[in-house]
Amino acid sequence: MKEKVYPKAQAVLSACGLAVLGLLFTLWLIKDRHGAAEVAAALACLALFALVCLRFVPVWFRLWFGEPGIAERVDEKEKRIPASTLFAAGILWAVCNYLAVWGTLYYVNPEITTEEFLQFWKSADAFHYLCIARDWYLSEGELDRIVQLVFLPGYPIVVRLAATVIRNYVLSGLLVSTLCFAGALCVFYRVVLTEYGSGTAARAAAFLCLMPGAFFFFAPMSESLFLLLCAACLAALQKRRWLLAGLFGALASFTRSLGLMLFVPLFFELVGDLLREKKCSLGAVCGLLLVPTGFAGYLLVNYLVSGNPFQFMIYQREHWYQGLGLFFNTAAYQTRYALAAAAKGDSKTLMGLWLPNLAAVFGAPAILFFGAKRLRASETAWAIAYYVIAIGATWLLSAPRYMAVLLPLPTALGVVSERKNVRALLYLFFALANAYYLVMFALRRSVW
């Protein structure tokens, strides 16, 4: 067992963090009235999050002040899966998902046509991304089209480029998403391989495919492109190619606002290098500062379309009732809506929306709790920051989809599943959860 680095400082930092969380929870309790079930859900979520943070602190201190290597660096002679095999596996998994969706739709409607199948993929946010790819953002016209400004332009631009060849926006979206996922699988595997070894890398890649909501990687949405850019950012950071890491981070923040959270792992690694090796290159600083420039480009798009660089925030608040809140409040109101749906017999939203959301809200920190001691500190820090922002949404409808792209989760599952019996149980659980959620999506049971 590794010696604790600056134990008193760790204790003080942990105590301060717990005090802040306690204060936020107290203020939340005082501000509004909450039912017993809501308070219990919020408290459970907060406690689970606090445990993750407490486990993270010692690993953080080792990264900055001690020996950061918590993983087994891969032997160059170690057996590994070829990139071509992984890429083919990614394509094959996409085909399996398409067939599973087709099979579900066929079960409901045996007369479904190919055109109807393609039209199905324009559901949920895919409709907005495909509209932007075709027409760009609109400053006037139907309100539902104007508010599409809240969707970032990275993915629609790539689809638009593909459509110049394919001449069909749905097919272009499906192709872009499939290829991006296959590429992301290759890059992610190599990142985990380098840091944790081939066994963990293979397991992590499998869990990435089985994450509940992973079928969204093959829909005409931004998840797979965002996944690829995040994995590429980590791969470049691993090799200390700071400018390239910053560039991929910038592209990620041009694709999804949560791409801004890639600033966190770059910052943690930069400070770690500075404190341990007493050096910090200009390239490292520039790479770090590159990450938010992608989102700045999105703000410029807002300005050019609407005259206000922050117009998307107005649309988010007024049209989608969306803002930034407390992550444990999300656990509370999701519990309230789940109980209300159950009381009314509304199985559609209960089984398709609220229960999967709650599973993601509690499942993500549970996974991090078991993996935090063995994950690299910069990865856990990224996961914590991402979770706080993504789950803190005031009207969260897509928690499983948001968590599916958080790469530290499948990495943590790969790390903790070394034992065969544990691995078999986890594979079975995630396969069933993924299949269940895919069927809910195909049946349009309020899955977003």
Phi first, then psi: what are they for 324, rounded to 5°? Answer: -100, 125
CA distances from residue 77 to 73, 74, 201, 231 in whole angstroms, order as listed: 12, 8, 15, 23
pLDDT at residue 224 tops 70: yes
Handedness of CA 174, 263, 22, 374 (dihedral sign): positive
pLDDT tens figures, 104-136: 999 999 999 999 999 999 988 999 999 999 999
User: How high is the pLDDT of residue 371?
Assistant: 96
User: How high is the pLDDT of residue 279?
Assistant: 79
pLDDT at residue 373 tops 80: yes
User: How high is the pLDDT of residue 322?
Assistant: 87
pLDDT at residue 76 tops 70: no
Cβ contacts of residue 350 below 8 Å, gap of 6+? 338, 341, 342
Three-state secondary-structure class, residue 353 = helix
For residues 49-53, give the mean pLDDT. Answer: 98
User: How high is the pLDDT of residue 78?
Assistant: 65
Q: How confident is the model at residue 72 (pLDDT cuts 50, 70, 90)?
A: very low
DSSP state of 324: B
Burial class (CB in 10 A: 0-12, 13-18, 19+), 375: buried
Q: 226: part of which helix (H) or strand (E)? A: helix 223-238
Q: What percent of the chain has pLDDT over 90?
A: 90
For residues 78-89, give the mean pLDDT. Answer: 92
pLDDT tens figures, 204-220: 999 999 999 999 999 99
